[in-house]
């Protein structure tokens, strides 16, 4: 399903519409919509089919939508769904696509208005579906896509009232609000366009300044519209219809100079999701003045009626203004520019009667709330080890015991149980979002990874990347525990000669650069090449269920970890390469003394080989094990401390003792 290019529009002659609307013998496009109509052999309508990208724009983990066909019958029941195209890396390489196919199959026979969630829910009358392990964000996005498409399609064909999806009601107050109160409560949406933005002149004078509001609530409606007129308009509203007031000032007009009776207001419209709401002359009442107390002077105003139940007052909507100016290219030639502003009614105006369907990222946080709390506590503990390192490194062997305990928790709890393994793919996604379209929802959709990256960013800038790489990274923890275990069993240790080590440690930067280049050239190619990380095969998809190449690479790295200290982390890991750049600016590295430039005790014991010949610790190589700082405080290991201790115990040769102590005090000064 991912091998072909995604369709740009619905065409039931080319797409398998019959699979999602089984009762249909033929299909034809609707005249006034983006959907297709399905009919039986007698010509009766049995339902409708829609393509998700024609109705919603919901990003999955890849940052791209899951292109899905959805069928709906006249009773509002989803008759089927089928994924036509996706770009999800976990399904391109890893989890079989049949898992997503089986998940999508659960929606057939469900009401479009039924609340369906992925994961647990405490809400009554809610259908809970199990997530696909390792592809949680994908199925959360798929759930949101299918339901939103089915509901929007139902609204378009007239079998679902938009307000019935998430019912709510307007709150009523007897006294009309003032202009300042409207602003304070957030009852107004606001859009300002300058003459510079419009291209009329270089001045920042106002071209048009629009205030708009859904005005059904009496404290809003009677503030904007004279009481008698407001009562008249409200009395004529049918269920699902709403009043929208637009007030404007400036040199431009939101009505347009060419508007005539029988026409359409082409300069202003509403959008909600992918639904466009256009106003006709029959939807319009002129508002020549407003009773709004404290309001500035508005040159024009309008009351529009939104008909057909297409506007959900409980959801965010956009007002879109299409401005025009004479471009001097012809007698009647004009240039058009589009501007928009979003607005959501405040809870003091409109209140939902029940819990609204959560967004993808909100549902993800609900599903992993307990895990997020546990992970946060664990990460705070690790940070506490470094904050209190005077204590944690203050006794022989203490920091080593703490380190091993943290590694066990990182591997078994954070990695195996939670599957919270950060990856270079998040760096690539971040860079892609900075260069393209930013979406907080994309990053919030993986709660444990989001929390981990906050931790990584903070600790890398303070103590260096070693706090994460050397303590918290589940894969790094696993390989270090394997190495320590093999040493206990007496297996031989192998280390590359310095001439090779000094060169190969830069390989991870080359891998990172290649991945970045590939990702910006083709994001799918970048995701595929990122499989150089064995993380997915370790914590998300069992390695033995993958292809021979992936399994062989995973097994080779695992075997090498038995004989060499963290070979992947030190030489190949692109994530570690990216974080190493942060470490160049760390504020607080391990404590060192002048004597450390001559002493080789810590150098011989540094498994990450981060201490240079001159005794300086390379922050890009250091994994922050803190063994050197434990030696720094141990009078049984650190030569200057040991010498001071012996001199203080020697009662003879007082003068010589004083001279030696003076030299040792110089050696003990911190660098």
Domains of the chain by residue range: 17-165, 168-352, 368-588, 592-671
DSSP secondary structure letter of residue 538: I
Whether 648 has a pLDDT exceeding 70, the answer reads no
Residue with tokens 């391109």: 92
Whether 165 has a pLDDT exceeding 50, the answer reads yes
Average pLDDT, stretch 186-202? 90
Locate 347 and state its tokens: 């809870």
SS3 607: coil
pLDDT at 280: 83
pLDDT at 331: 41
Cβ neighbors of 150 (< 8 A, separation 6 or more) are 50, 70, 72, 78, 112
Question: Which residue has better confidence, 307 or 506?
Answer: 506
Would you place residue 653 in the very low, low, confident or very high pLDDT band (cuts 50, 70, 90)? Answer: very low
Average pLDDT, stretch 157-181? 84
Chain mean pLDDT for the chain: 84
**Which tens digits make up the pLDDT trace of 19-40?**
999 989 999 998 867 899 999 9
Question: Which residue has better confidence, 149 or 668?
Answer: 149
CA 563 to chain CA mean position, Å: 39
Percent above pLDDT 70 for the chain: 86
| Out of 119-133, 522-536, 560-574, least confident range | 119-133
Would you place residue 652 in the very low, low, confident or very high pLDDT band (cuts 50, 70, 90)? Answer: low
Task: Evaluate whether 303 touches 243 at the Cβ level (below 8 Å).
Answer: yes
Average pLDDT, stretch 256-279? 73
Q: Which of 10, 47, 6 is nearest to 25 (CA)?
A: 47
| Out of 62-66, 80-84, 319-323, least confident range | 62-66
CA 337 to chain CA mean position, Å: 30
| Out of 2-6, 393-397, 433-437, least confident range | 2-6
Locate 665 and state its tokens: 């005090």
Measured CA to CA, the distance from residue 51 to residue 158 in angstroms comes to: 18
**Which tens digits make up the pLDDT trace of 385-394?**
999 988 998 8
pLDDT at 440: 72
**Which tens digits make up the pLDDT trace of 326-376?**
544 544 446 778 899 999 999 999 987 755 566 667 777 887 889 999 999
Q: Would the pTM count as exceeding 0.75?
A: no
Q: How many residues does the chain have?
A: 671
């Amino acid at each position: 399903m991912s091998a072909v290019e995604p369709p740009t529009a619905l065409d039931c002659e080319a797409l398998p519409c019959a699979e999602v609307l089984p009762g249909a013998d033929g299909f034809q496009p609707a005249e006034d919509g983006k959907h297709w109509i399905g009919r039986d052999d007698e010509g009766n309508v049995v339902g409708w089919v829609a393509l998700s990208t024609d109705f919603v724009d919901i990003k999955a983990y890849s940052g791209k939508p899951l292109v899905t066909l959805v069928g709906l019958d006249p009773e509002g029941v989803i008759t089927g769904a089928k994924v036509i195209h996706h770009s999800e890396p976990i399904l391109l390489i890893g989890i079989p696509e049949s898992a997503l196919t089986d998940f999508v199959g659960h929606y057939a026979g469900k009401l479009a208005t039924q609340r369906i969630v992925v994961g647990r829910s405490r809400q009554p009358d809610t259908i809970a579906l199990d997530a696909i392990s390792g592809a949680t964000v994908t199925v959360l996005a798929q759930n949101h896509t299918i339901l939103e498409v089915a509901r929007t399609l139902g609204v378009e064909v007239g079998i679902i009232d938009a307000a019935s999806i998430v019912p709510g009601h307007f709150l009523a107050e007897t006294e009309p609000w003032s202009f300042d109160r409207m602003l304070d409560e957030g009852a107004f949406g606001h859009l300002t366009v300058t003459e510079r933005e419009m291209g009329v002149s270089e001045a920042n004078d106002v071209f048009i300044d629009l205030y708009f509001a859904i005005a059904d609530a009496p404290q809003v409606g009677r503030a904007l519209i004279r009481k008698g007129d407001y009562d008249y308009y409200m009395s004529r509203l049918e269920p699902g219809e709403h009043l929208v007031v637009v007030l404007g000032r400036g040199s431009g007009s939101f009505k347009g100079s060419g508007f005539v009776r029988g026409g359409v207001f082409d300069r202003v419209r509403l959008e909600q999701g992918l639904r466009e709401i256009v106003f006709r002359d029959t939807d319009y009442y002129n508002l020549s003045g407003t009773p709004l107390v404290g309001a500035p002077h508005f040159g024009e105003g309008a009351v529009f009626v939104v008909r057909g139940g297409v506007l959900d007052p409980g959801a965010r909507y956009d007002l879109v203004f299409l401005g025009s100016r004479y471009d001097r290219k012809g007698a009647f030639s004009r240039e058009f520019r589009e501007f928009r502003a979003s607005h959501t009614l405040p809870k003091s105006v409109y209140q939902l009667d029940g819990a609204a369907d959560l967004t993808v990222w909100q549902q993800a946080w609900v599903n992993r709330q307990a895990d997020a709390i546990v992970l946060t506590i664990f990460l705070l503990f690790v940070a506490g080890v470094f904050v209190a390192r005077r204590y944690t490194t203050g006794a022989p062997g203490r920091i080593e015991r703490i380190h091993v305990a943290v590694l066990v928790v990182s591997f078994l709890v954070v990695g195996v149980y939670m599957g919270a393994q950060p990856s270079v793919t998040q760096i690539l996604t971040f860079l892609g979002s900075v260069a393209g379209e930013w979406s907080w929802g994309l990053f919030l959709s993986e709660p444990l990874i989001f929390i981990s990256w906050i931790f990584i960013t903070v600790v890398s800038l303070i103590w260096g990347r070693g706090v994460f790489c050397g303590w918290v990274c589940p894969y790094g923890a696993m390989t270090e525990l394997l190495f320590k275990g093999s040493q206990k069993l007496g297996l031989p240790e192998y280390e590359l000669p310095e001439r090779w080590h000094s060169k190969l440690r830069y390989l991870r930067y080359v891998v990172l650069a290649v991945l970045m280049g590939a990702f910006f050239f083709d994001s799918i190619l970048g995701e595929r090449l990122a499989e150089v990380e064995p993380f997915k095969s370790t914590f998300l998809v069992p390695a033995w269920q993958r292809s021979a190449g992936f399994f062989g690479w995973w097994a080779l790295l695992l075997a090498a970890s038995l004989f060499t200290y963290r070979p992947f982390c030190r030489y190949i890991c692109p994530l570690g390469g990216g974080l190493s750049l942060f470490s160049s600016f760390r504020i607080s590295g391990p404590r060192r003394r002048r004597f450390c430039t001559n002493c080789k005790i810590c150098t011989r014991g540094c498994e990450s080989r981060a201490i240079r010949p001159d005794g300086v610790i390379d922050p890009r190589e250091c994994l922050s094990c803190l063994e050197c700082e434990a030696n720094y405080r141990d009078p049984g290991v650190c030569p200057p401390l040991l010498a001071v201790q012996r001199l203080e115990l020697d009662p003879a040769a007082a003068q010589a003792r004083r001279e030696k102590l003076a030299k040792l005090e110089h050696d003990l000064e911190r660098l």
